[in-house]
Amino acid sequence: MVELPEHSDPRGLLTVVEGGKDVDFDIKRAYFIHHVPEKVTRGAHGHRRLRQLIVAMHGSFEVIVDDGFEKERFVLDHPSRGLYVVPMIWRDMVNFTPDAVGLWLVSEPYDESEYYRDYAEFLRDARASR
Ligand code: T46
């Protein structure tokens, strides 16, 4: 988990993410996930090269990360705290609250060929890479 720099004054809070400083990559793309229906799971994939910072801008959701050996579950519920996910991690996002808005800041342009969509293939490569 990454604590993001907050600037607080009587007008409220301003949280910053600067590429190459608060995350160790240049931010090439951003997307938001919102209006997720109850009990839906998103994700179910891994990335070969892509790094990303995931932030719950509003509401909350959980991210289950899996490096091919162990799984860990993180609750994202604050806009100044992000989950930094490196390559070769399978992820599922679950338990979105109805008001959840997630922000993804990522290191690569969109490229479907860079995804693992097959868990068996991911597991084979993730275990071989250790
Ligand atoms: C990730 C998780 C957390 C695009 O056209 N451009 C984009 O930049 C993205 C991210 C998606 N799309 C299209 C591809 C699909 O037709 O949007 C549709 C839904 O994408 P996907 O099924 O990959 O959505 P999630 O929530 O399963 O996964 C996304 C990201 O793809 C992925 O990188 O880590 O969020």
Asked whether residue 23 is domain-assigned, the answer is no
Q: What does the alpha-carbon distance between residue 79 and residue 73 come to, in Å, rounded to a whole number?
A: 18
Asked whether residue 38 is domain-assigned, the answer is yes
Task: Give the residue among 84, 91, 74, 100 at the shortest CA–CA distance from 126.
Answer: 91
Asked whether residue 14 is domain-assigned, the answer is no
Asked whether residue 94 is domain-assigned, the answer is yes
Q: What does the alpha-carbon distance between residue 88 and residue 67 come to, in Å, rounded to a whole number?
A: 7
ipTM, two decimals, is: 0.88
Asked whether residue 21 is domain-assigned, the answer is no
For residue 11, the CA-to-ligand 1 centroid distance in Å is 34
Burial of 54 (0-12, 13-18, 19+ CB in 10 A): buried
Based on the residue annotation, tell me whether 45 is a catalytic residue of this protein.
yes
Global pTM reads 0.94
Residue nearest to ligand 1 atom 15, measured at CA = 112
What are the structure tokens assigned to 43, written together?
Answer: 């994700």
Q: Which of 35, 45, 58, 78 is catalytic?
A: 45
33-55 tens-digit pLDDT: 999 999 999 999 999 999 999 99
User: Domain range spanning residue 49?
Assistant: 30-128
Q: What is the CATH number of the domain that holds 72?
A: 2.60.120.10
Contact 48, 87 (CB under 8 A): yes
